[in-house]
């Protein structure tokens, strides 16, 4: 089955399939449910998108977790709890998401809400945010370590850079890469350089010299990899291997490739020779 065939059966783009295969992004639970029977693979072999398996706020400070748990148990809105505590709803929301910490003047009412002594509440407020990065990829370990050093929850970091805590989680767990547009703000929020973030990000396959030429000619001629494969008389995975330097075309395929790309055969020989 070619990538284009799989993409058509799932109702996604061929580029989406390519990104799944390279591990740049993961299928959503809905797409995963359709992908498994198409490929006849056991569901237990797949790692699902965190949307179905994890809570993005599972690293909240202890007070934030206690407040959210207690409010949920009482069936109250944030506005109702804020009124009990004598603070603005925005202030309470910041406490519950770990973006701010209550002052000592609020300890008595917080103790009454949580059923604790004022001393116990003071200890809970003082408890530092601990981020367990074990098993995380390199970028996640960097982000987690910086969040812990700065005492930033995912929600707080997300608010600073204009995204969601779930997005922060997908970056930290390696399901997705931060887009270039977010890197400057992310670097500022974590007090690191953009270069440090880029260095920690997973590497994408770099095209070979032949791959650079193929991609350049595809763009110039308005072709896709599927078009090149069809016109050469081979498969798209084969063209992908040529692009990424995992194999080289030879003989008849090389001649057909030169014709399809409208370049001299000698130029392809030169490029392939330069990759040796």
Q: What pLDDT, in 10s, does the model give residues 185-224?
A: 999 999 999 999 988 987 665 667 888 899 889 888 888 8
Distance from C-alpha of 267 to C-alpha of 269, rounded to nearest angstrom: 5
C-alpha 180: how far from its chain's center?
A: 12
Q: What is the pLDDT of residues 91-129, one digit of tens each?
A: 998 888 777 889 888 989 999 999 999 889 888 888 888
Furthest CA-CA distance within the chain = 83
Of 10 and 150, which is predicted with more confidence?
150
**Which CATH number among 1.10.1200.10, 1.50.10.20, 1.10.260.40, 3.40.640.10 corresponds to the domain 138-200?**
1.10.260.40
Angle at 118 between CA 116 and CA 119, to 5 degrees: 100
Spell out the domain ranges in the chain.
Answer: 3-52, 62-126, 138-200, 209-275
pTM over 0.85: no
Q: What is the mean pLDDT of residues 176-193?
A: 90
Q: Which DSSP state fits 1?
A: -
What is the pLDDT at residue 255?
92
Query: Tell me, what's the pLDDT at 47?
Result: 46
Classified by CATH at the fold level, domain 62-126 comes out as: 434 Repressor (Amino-terminal Domain) (1.10.260)
Q: Are 106 and 134 in contact (CB under 8 A)?
A: no
φ/ψ of 272, rounded to 5, equals -65, -40
pLDDT level of residue 48 (50, 70, 90 thresholds):
very low
State the pLDDT at residue 232. Answer: 92
Does 43 score more than 70 pLDDT? no
pLDDT (0 to 100) of residue 49: 47
- Residue 45 pLDDT exceeds 60: no
Q: What pLDDT digit, counting tens, does each position of 12-41 carry?
A: 888 788 878 877 677 877 777 777 777 765
Which CATH superfamily groups domain 209-275?
A: lambda repressor-like DNA-binding domains (1.10.260.40)
> Is pLDDT larger for residue 267 or for residue 205?
267
What are the structure tokens assigned to 105, written together? 């003047």
Arithmetic mean of pLDDT over the chain = 83
Distance of alpha carbon 213 from the chain centroid: 30
Domains 138-200 and 209-275 share a fold: yes
């Amino acid at each position: 089955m070619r990538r284009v065939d799989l993409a058509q059966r799932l109702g996604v783009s061929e580029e989406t399939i390519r990104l799944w295969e390279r591990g740049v992004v993961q299928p959503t639970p809905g797409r995963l449910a359709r992908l498994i029977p198409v490929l006849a693979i056991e569901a237990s072999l797949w790692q699902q998108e965190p949307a179905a398996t994890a809570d993005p706020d599972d690293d909240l400070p202890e007070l934030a977790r206690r407040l959210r748990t207690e409010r949920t148990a009482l069936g109250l809105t944030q506005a109702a709890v804020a009124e009990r505590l004598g603070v603005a709803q925005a202030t309470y929301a910041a406490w519950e998401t770990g973006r701010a910490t209550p002052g000592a003047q609020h300890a008595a009412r917080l103790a009454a809400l949580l059923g604790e002594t004022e001393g116990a509440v003071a200890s809970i407020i003082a408890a530092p945010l601990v981020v367990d990065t074990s098993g995380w990829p390199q970028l996640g370990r960097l982000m987690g370590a910086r969040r812990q050093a700065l005492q930033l929850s995912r929600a707080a970091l997300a608010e600073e850079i204009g995204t969601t805590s779930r997005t922060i989680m997908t970056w930290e767990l390696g399901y997705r890469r931060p887009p270039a547009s977010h890197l400057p703000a992310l670097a500022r929020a974590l007090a690191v350089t953009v270069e440090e973030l880029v260095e920690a990000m997973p590497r994408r396959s770099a095209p070979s010299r032949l791959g650079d030429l193929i991609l350049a000619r595809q763009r110039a001629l308005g072709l896709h990899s599927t078009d090149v494969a069809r016109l050469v008389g081979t498969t798209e995975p084969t063209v992908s291997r040529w692009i990424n330097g995992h194999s080289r075309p030879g003989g008849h395929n090389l001649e057909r490739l030169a014709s399809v790309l409208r370049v001299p055969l000698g130029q392809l020989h030169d490029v392939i020779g330069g990759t040796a």
